[in-house]
Structures are given as structure tokens and as C-alpha cells.
Amino acid sequence: MAELEEEVERRQRLGQEAAARKALIARSYHPVRPHIYNTLQDEALAPEFLAAAEYSTSPGADLEGLLQRLETVSGEKRIYRLPVFTAPFCQALLEELEHFEHSDMPKGRPNTMNNYGVLLHELGLDEPLVTPLRERFLQPLMALLYPDCGGGWLDSHRAFVVKYAPGQDHELGCHYDNAELTLNVALGKAFTGGALYFGDLFQAPSALARPLEVEHVVGRGILHRGGQLHGARPLGTGERWNLVVWLRASAVRNRLCPMCCRKPDLVDDDGFGDGFTREEPTTVDACALT
């Protein structure tokens, strides 16, 4: 019980501590690639990604048409892949992340499982990069791919970069995400090993009986449901950096917490918090999510 109480207190401090780090970084940090803090431009995105997003917003767009514009890794598990960022943008973002890593700025852990990486909202990249990526591009894609998971009602996110390297995080155990949907983009560098493996949804009794392995390709993003059990195989050589965006739909999670499968008991927090809202989104038809 003492450990549980300590963890509850730690989580209650997260928002305030993150806000303090973000404020200090905004005052004192000097970026090495300042252009990536500008609002996301189409030039940073892969042509295939732009084409898929444009199709998704066109009249008459449907799932069959969208699937012709991306790679289906597993139709059964509903896992897809497509290029997201251009190689120059991946390189510039990596250089900025490494510059920040080597600075004396305070750094929050990406999540409870990864020890090395960067929280993008603390670095100041949520508003210019991740929010337009979600609102302009990912939401129309996800609305066609995952309409039953809140894909059309994504209203918040948590974005972070994770780093795997010798002597640091080397692999990642099996887990599921605190998200309705997830985007995982390999940014670099040169590496071997570290493939993702997927089981079934976490509610399934034999969810990892025959895991599916998916190799990372730099610049390409893997799309999957947050409740899909997955993990990362051990890194072989080199360093692997990945951008992970947990996409959240309050219309879904307000009814049932994706982590404990119970009706959530809410506590006020700053920013997006864990993606819950006290008010229902006014544009959502509840019947569409049942």
C-alpha cells in the first residue's frame, strides 16, 4: 500500500512538474534546428502520406480506396504502415533531439516503461508539429481505418520520442498503450534488431500465442490500435529513435478507461492530461461508437 500511495502521489505531481520543465526550457534552451519549431509544412511529409490524407478527405473516400494507398501489415490485426516524414525532416528532428539530450535542460521520462527519450510538449513541439499532424492528417486517415475506435473523434494526444541504445534502454516488454490509436514512426539512426512484435488485443486470453513481427523502416509509421499487445525485440547494434504518438478520443475513453476498463473517476490536470474530458464532445453521436 505504501508503494501504491507513493505512485499515486508521483502521478499527481506529473502535470505540475512537466509545466515547470516546459517553462524553463522555453526560457533557456537554444535549439540547433529552429525551423522544426515552425508550424508543420507539407514539405516535411512524405508524398505517400500526403496523398493518403488528401484521399481520406475527398468526397466518396472509403476504406477500400484508402487501403490501396498504404501497406496492410496485418488485415486481421488491423496494423498498417506508410511513409510519414521525409528523410531530411527525420534527420533535422534527430539532430534537434540529440542536441536537447546533450543539454543541461531538465528532462521528463517518456512513459513508465522507457527511461530515455523526450516528451515533445515539454520541448515545445506539440503545438507546431504534433497537433497539426493529428488534426490535418491523422484524423481523416484514422476515421476510415478505425471508425469503431474513435478514429474520427481524436481530440488529444501524448507524443514522445523513445531512444534505444547500448547501455540504455535495449528492448521493451509486452504492453498496451494508454491510447485509442497509436502512430509509431522510426526516425533513425542506423540500427539492427529492435523489431516490434504484436499479439492480439489485451482482452484476448491467448493474446501472444503467435506474435507478428514488424521491422522498423526509417521514415515510415506503423498504425495500430492502442489496445493491441506489443513490445520491442532487443536492439542488435546502433541506436534507434522512434516518435510515438498516442492518439486519444475523449468520446471513447470518457465511457471506459482503456487501461482499467472501468468508468473513469476524473481528476483535473493541465493541458490534455490523459485525454479525458468532463463534457462530452458536442459533435459525437454516441450510437456511432457502440
pLDDT digits (tens, 9 = 90+) for 137-148: 999 999 999 999
CB 191 within 8 A of CB 237: yes
Residue 98 contacts residue 87 (beta carbons within 8 Å): no
**What is the per-residue pLDDT for 285?**
45
- The average pLDDT across 28-50 equals 97
Amino acid at 180: E
Using only C-alpha atoms, the chain has a radius of gyration, in whole angstroms, of 19
Does 262 or 22 have the greater pLDDT score? 22
Q: Which three cell numbers stand for residue 200?
A: 492480439
Domains and CATH numbers, the chain: 2-253 (2.60.120.620)
Percent of all residues in the chain with a pLDDT value above 70, rounded to a whole number: 94
CB 230 within 8 A of CB 175: yes
What lies within 8 Å, CB to CB, of 158 at 6+ separation is 121, 178, 179, 245, 246, 248, 272, 274, 275
Report the amino acid identity of residue 153: W
Name the DSSP letter for residue 209: S
What is the model's pLDDT at position 209? 67
Nearest residue to 149 (alpha-carbon basis) of 183, 175, 181: 181
Q: Which pLDDT value is given to residue 207?
A: 56
| Res. 288 pLDDT band, cuts 50 70 90 | very low
* pLDDT at position 281: 64
On average, the pLDDT of the chain sits at: 90
Question: 24 vs 258, which has greater pLDDT?
Answer: 24
Could you tell me if residue 107 is left (phi over 0), alpha (psi between -120 and 50 degrees) or otherwise beta?
Answer: beta
Sole residue written with cell 472509403: 62
Residue 289, pLDDT > 60, answer: no
Label residue 69 exposed, middle or buried (CB < 10 Å: 0-12, 13-18, 19+): middle
Q: What is the pTM of this model?
A: 0.91
Which amino acid type is present at position 270?
D
Within 10 angstroms of residue 286's Cβ, the number of other Cβ atoms is 9
pLDDT in tens, 58-84: 999 999 999 999 999 999 999 999 999
Per-residue pLDDT tens digits for 239-266:
999 999 999 999 999 988 888 888 888 7
How far is Cα 125 from Cα 96, in angstroms, rounded to an integer? Answer: 11
The secondary structure element, H or E, covering residue 13 is helix 2-28
pLDDT band at 269 (very low <50, low <70, confident <90, very high): confident
pLDDT at 287: 36
